[in-house]
Amino acid sequence: MLTKLLADKRFTDFYDDLRHMAVQLERKVALHDFQVPSVQAVMGLLDENRIATVEDLRALVVELLNEFQSWVKNAETNPINQFYDGGDRLDENTSRDRIVDRLKNQLNLLNVGVNIETHMSNSNRCDITAECSINGDQKLLVIEVKGQWHSELYSAASKQLFDRYSQHPNAAKQGIYLVLWYGKDEKIAGKKIHSISTAKELHRELKNSLPIDLNARIDIVVLDLSKT
């Protein structure tokens, strides 16, 4: 209902109030199944870097991806080169594997397992999953990876990541949508002609295209792998 009101030009004067109400509703929906972590879980997170909730795990992986971004663009060893072969960019899956190689080393230290092509329901496979035990229960963070050129770039976060993978009983209806940016000369969603020139611009476009009710459940990360 609020989404319809926000899109209705008759209520332009009330946009800020409606937007505030929508954000509050998002948070309530996202926390509907939230369980207060035990004292032991909180102490473990603080003292031993253990994860207390799926949301913690999601925030941790986003932070590690941000650190990866800084490393891949700025390290003196030029790690950006590992995402190219003879001057050509790598494909989606090979790029993903390069990223997982680094994430796995970091997350394994926190007793978080990382896998690729994890089997899901209806013969689907999730690009990356991070899994750990929280209060004796296995929890799963699902991550969908798309190159900027993919034809389903703008729909995969909701129709694939959320509708299919985040519904796994251990995933808490949350996830990360990881998009690979290789520069303005690459296609965007299968189109050669587009107006997007930076990873930040693509992130803004993807964020705006995400259904408002998923903003609290899905993190969008656009990883800049361009050489510019």
Residue-wise pLDDT tens for the chain (228 aa)?
Answer: 646 555 666 656 655 665 656 555 554 555 455 454 454 544 454 445 567 789 989 999 999 999 999 999 999 999 999 999 998 999 999 999 999 999 999 999 888 999 999 988 888 899 999 999 877 888 999 999 999 999 999 999 999 999 999 999 999 999 999 999 999 999 999 999 999 999 999 999 999 999 998 999 999 999 999 998
Q: Is residue 27 part of a domain?
A: no
CA-based max dimension of the chain? 56
Q: Is residue 14 part of a domain?
A: no
Can you give the residue range of the structural domain that contains 207? 49-224
How many domains does the chain contain in total? 1
Q: Is residue 130 part of a domain?
A: yes
Between CA 165 and CA 171, with CA 166 as vertex, the angle to 5 degrees is 115
Q: How many beta carbons lie within 10 A of that of residue 104, not counting itself?
A: 17
Q: Is residue 31 part of a domain?
A: no
Would you state the structure tokens that stand for residue 134, as one six-digit string? 């929280």
Q: Is residue 193 part of a domain?
A: yes
DSSP, residue by residue, the chain: -HHHHHH-GGGGGGHHHHHHHHHHHHHHHHTTT--PPPHHHHHHHHHH----SHHHHHHHHHHHHHHHHHHHHH-TT-GGGGGEETTEEP-HHHHHHHHHHHHHHHHHTTT-EEEEEEE-GGG-EEEEEEEEEETTEEEEEEEEEEETT-TTTTTHIIIIIIIIITTSTTSTT-EEEEEEE--TTS-BTTBS--S--SHHHHHHHHHHHS-GGGTTTEEEEEEE----
Residue 162 · residue 126 · CB < 8 Å: no
Q: Is residue 125 part of a domain?
A: yes
CA dihedral sign of residues 148, 60, 132, 102: positive
Quote the pTM value.
0.80
Q: Is residue 6 part of a domain?
A: no
For tokens 């299968």, the residue is 190
Q: Is residue 195 part of a domain?
A: yes
The span from the CA of 209 to the CA of 158, in Å, is 10
